[in-house]
């Protein structure tokens, strides 16, 4: 433990700071806290835990063994590198629906304010819906055959208008661009490849039965949307649960109970870390996972 004042934290003259253990450079104490909160290290059933963020931290295991990796998913799940991406704050679209007949869009925003942009769950929802109505195809390209004013040429190639300027807080059209789809493809492919790699190495389990989605974005992602974009393996077999800010909850447990701190040390000692960058298998899975297998042209083309 460290004195808070020595770390520059002004929380009380005699306060201490306890740091949960680290396992590897990109896999930090926040993931240890997630495991502590969800009890993954005590489960019989092998469980997949995904903390969606710029680094997609992934754990697969149970009380006997836990494998762990970090994928450079990029900031798309947190609204970064997306034309109208934003953090999950008032006015961010968190989910939407596209009418398959009229292509009209209805949306839900945080605090029910006029739309200002898309947070992580909204980006996933938008692209999942574009796949469902057939506008986004298996390779991530837009189907140019659609005759609708919503599909048009923009600065980054074709783009689809989700919110017309007259309905937006920004007084500009809010769109999903071809480049946005490509950003999401790379992010989801990295997460899917990392999870698949861990599951392949974890012997004796044919199909994952439980998936936990953590992180600010993960908790609000609709499981069906996640499956439509192939965010992780196991969509057909697993029960998918959003576990909210599991890292924050785990930190609170450790703050209140010294036994939990010792438990965190045991979790860290038990973890088996896998470095993905050097493995050719990860590269293979990453490339093959770039497609959208739910797209209407997927079976015809591939």
Integer angstrom CA distances of residue 109 from 58, 117, 132, 184: 28, 9, 21, 20
The answer to whether 190 touches 74, Cβ cutoff 8 Å, is yes
The overall average pLDDT reported for the chain is 92
Q: At what angle do helices 246-256 and 29-38 cross, to 10 degrees?
A: 80
Q: Please write the tens of the pLDDT for every residue from 199-241.
A: 999 875 667 899 999 976 666 899 999 999 999 998 888 999 9
Q: Please write the tens of the pLDDT for every residue from 22-67.
A: 766 656 888 999 999 999 999 999 999 999 877 889 999 999 999 9
pLDDT averaged per 10 residues in sequence order, the chain, 302 residues:
87 86 72 95 95 87 94 86 94 97 97 96 97 97 95 94 98 97 96 95 79 80 94 90 91 95 93 89 95 90 57
Looking up tokens 């447990």, which residue turns up? 253
The pLDDT of residue 204 is 59
The answer to whether 158 touches 149, Cβ cutoff 8 Å, is no
How many CA atoms lie within 13 Å of 40's alpha carbon, on the beta-carbon side? 35
């Amino acid at each position: 433990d460290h004195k808070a004042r020595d770390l520059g934290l002004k929380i009380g003259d005699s306060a201490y700071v306890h740091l949960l253990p680290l396992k590897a450079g990109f896999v930090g104490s926040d993931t240890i806290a997630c495991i502590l909160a969800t009890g993954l290290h005590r489960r019989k059933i092998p469980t997949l835990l995904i903390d969606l963020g710029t680094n997609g931290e992934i754990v697969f295991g149970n009380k006997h063994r836990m494998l762990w990796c970090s994928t450079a998913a990029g900031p798309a799940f947190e609204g970064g590198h997306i034309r109208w991406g934003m953090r999950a704050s008032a006015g961010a679209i968190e989910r939407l629906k596209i009418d398959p007949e009229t292509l009209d869009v209805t949306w839900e925003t945080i605090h029910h304010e006029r739309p200002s942009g898309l947070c992580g769950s909204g980006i996933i929802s938008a692209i999942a819906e574009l796949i469902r109505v057939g506008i986004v195809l298996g390779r991530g390209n837009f189907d140019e055959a659609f005759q609708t004013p919503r599909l048009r040429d923009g600065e980054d190639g074709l783009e689809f208008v989700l919110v017309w300027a007259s309905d937006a807080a920004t007084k500009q059209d809010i769109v999903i661009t071809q480049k946005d789809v490509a950003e999401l493809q790379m992010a989801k492919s990295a997460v899917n490849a990392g999870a698949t790699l861990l599951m392949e190495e974890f012997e004796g389990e044919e199909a994952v039965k439980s998936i936990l989605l953590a992180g600010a974005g993960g908790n609000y992602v609709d499981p069906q949307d996640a499956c439509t974009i192939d965010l992780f393996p196991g969509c057909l077999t697993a029960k998918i649960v959003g576990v909210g800010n599991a890292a924050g909850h785990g930190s609170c447990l450790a703050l209140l109970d010294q036994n939990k701190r010792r438990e965190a040390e045991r979790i860290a000692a038990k973890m088996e870390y896998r470095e993905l960058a050097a493995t050719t298998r990860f590269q293979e899975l990453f490339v093959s996972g770039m497609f959208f297998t739910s797209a209407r042209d997927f079976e015809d083309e591939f």
